Amino acid sequence: MGVRPNVVVIGAGFGGLSVARGLADKPVEVTLIDRQNFTTFQPLLYQVATSGLNAADVAHPVRGLFHEQANLRFRRAEVTGVDWDARQVELLGQRPVPFDHLVVAAGATATWFGISGAEEWGLPLYTLDDARRLRNHIVERFEAADAQPDLIDEGALTFVVVGGGPTGVETAGALAELVAVVFRRDYPHLDVGRAHVVLVEARDALLAPFSPGSQLHAAETLAARQVDVRVGESVAEVGPRHVRLGSGAVIPTQTVVWAAGVRANPLAEMMGLPTGKGGRVVVEPELTVPDRPGAWAIGDIAAPAGRKGDPLPQLAPVAMQSGAHVARQIGRLLDGRRPQPFKFHDKGTMATIGRRAAVAELPGGIRLRGTLAWLAWLFLHLLYLAGVRNRASVLLNWAWSYVTWDRGPRLILRPDLGTDHPYPPGSTEAPTDASTGAPADEQT
């Protein structure tokens, strides 16, 4: 038997896992590389941030997913670049890994749009550490306000969520519920009624990819749950104690949740891949990278074209389907056949707003709202979550919360995860601009 080609996959997210699984029965050796030893189910991060789920419920060790796949090797490492001449991937502090095929599936990262103070003071929600940091911070603000109620006047209990896409809507809805239902009981001596959740969206409507009916439903449902929805309002500046809007309005706040959008992982540029809007890798219809033989890019880091030529959205189904496609095309190449173009099958889109409230738009013009959409959302998220144990734990948490109106882990764990933030753990003091540095990099 000859030497089997090496396929290196960068990233063990939705896209990378899908390629790796698709190569299980192919005559190749797969090396799957990720800087974390776990995969994260990003669609449920907002529930970790708002004390609905444990961090471990939405993550799964990568090695545990491949016990049965003999041709796969996992490597925990940070990819720093690629040597195209030597055809090897460069890793931080480890030996390079040679490849015959390279699949880049390194995802995306938060983008700040150059808004003054946003990166310094905003709290993104992209990684598990982001979610835990945000949870710590939210609970800390309540503890601080309980110890010193005049902090409420300085925005300690005002939570501004920037970005009215699905992540912003879900986070604002969950935060409003956490405050109204759980914190009201947790802090009986605090005037929790003065807590305030504001959702700011620059476009004229929430949930941009949805129909006007669903957008309106989301806005009305949030408003009924005491979320202050401000559409057509941009953020001009973020500071340690305030947000200034484009209209000039200033909101005193100590919490700005940044859900305003993503850009492709800068690794694409570090690797010398051709990039376009949002830093996304330019790909051929087959998902190969032009002028980089053997290289493929999938998921959030890439910009595959949809039917009308526009780039497909940065969503989990695109990542999963493009991953499966690349695995099939590598198989075709090994059989001496030409690769085929990628065709995305849109199975619809959905967003949850809160308890028994969601919107879902399915092929064939089917539109669901309210409880039915919410149940569909719960079911699909359980289905795609990695690991039976995680599914059981999430289901139990959801059932418990539904029946008792209680929330799970509103614990301030690993307080060090909060020390890089403007409001360090336990502090009742809000800092001035000069008293703190920029947030540390993502923690591993």
Ligand X SMILES: Cc1cc2nc3c(=O)[nH]c(=O)nc-3n(C[C@H](O)[C@H](O)[C@H](O)COP(=O)(O)OP(=O)(O)OC[C@H]3O[C@@H](n4cnc5c(N)ncnc54)[C@H](O)[C@@H]3O)c2cc1C
Binding site residues, ligand X, CB under 6 A: 10-16, 33-36, 39, 42-43, 45-46, 78-79, 105-107, 125-126, 166-167, 265, 267, 299-301, 314-317, 319
Report the residue closest to ligand X, judged by CB.
Answer: 13
Distance CA 410, CA 49 (A): 9
Structure tokens of 275?
């990039």
In the complex with ligand X, the residue whose CB is nearer, 4 or 73, is 73
Report the residue number, 59 or 412, with the smaller CB distance to ligand X.
59
Q: How far is the CB of 108 from ligand X (least distance, A)?
A: 6
| Smallest distance from ligand X to CB 323, Å | 7
Kindly report the number of other CB atoms within 10 A of residue 227's CB atom.
24
Q: 336: which 2 tokens?
A: 């001496």
Which phi and psi (to 5°) does residue 306 adopt? -85, -170
Q: Closest CB to ligand X among 109 and 253?
A: 109
CB-neighbour burial class of residue 435 (10 A; exposed 0-12, middle 13-18, buried 19+): exposed
Catalytic residue at 170?
Answer: yes
CB of 230 to ligand X, least distance (A): 21
Contacts of 130 (CB under 8 A, 6+ apart): 45, 49, 123, 124, 442
Measured CA angle at 279 (ends 277, 282), to 5 deg = 75
Of residues 157 and 267, the one with the C-beta less far from ligand X? 267
Residue 1: CB atoms within 10 Å: 4
- Of the pair 104, 156, the CB lying nearest ligand X is at 104
Q: Which is nearer to ligand X, 243 or 386 (CB)?
A: 386
Tell me whether residue 160 or residue 319 sits nearer to ligand X (CB atom). 319
Strands (E), 163-297: 196-201, 227-231, 235-238, 242-245, 250-252, 255-258, 262-264, 295-297
> Least distance (Å) from ligand X to the CB of residue 62?
8
Give the relative orientation of helices 316-334 and 14-22 as an angle to the nearest 10 degrees: 30
Q: What's the angle, vertex CA 183, arms to CA 180 and CA 189, rounded to 5?
A: 110
Instruction: Please report how close the Cβ of residue 186 comes to ligand X at its closest, in angstroms.
Output: 25
Distance between CA atoms of residues 318 and 15, nearest Å: 8
Q: Which of 170, 177, 201, 361 is catalytic?
A: 170
Q: How far is the CB of 271 from ligand X (least distance, A)?
A: 9
Strand partners, 281: 275, 302
Whose CA is closest to 229, among 176, 192, 179, 184? 176
Q: Which is nearer to ligand X, 12 or 238 (CB)?
A: 12
Q: From the CB of 92, what's the least distance to ligand X, in Å?
A: 8
DSSP conformation letters of 89-136: EEETTEEEEE-SEEEE---EEE--TT-BTHHHHEEE-SSHHHHHHHHH
Do residues 123 and 134 lie in contact, with contact meaning Cβ atoms separated by under 8 Å?
yes
Q: In angstroms, what is the minimal distance from the CB of 10 to ligand X? A: 6
Is residue 41 a contact partner of residue 168, using CB atoms and an 8 Å limit?
A: no
Question: Could you give the residue numbers annotated as active site?
Answer: 170
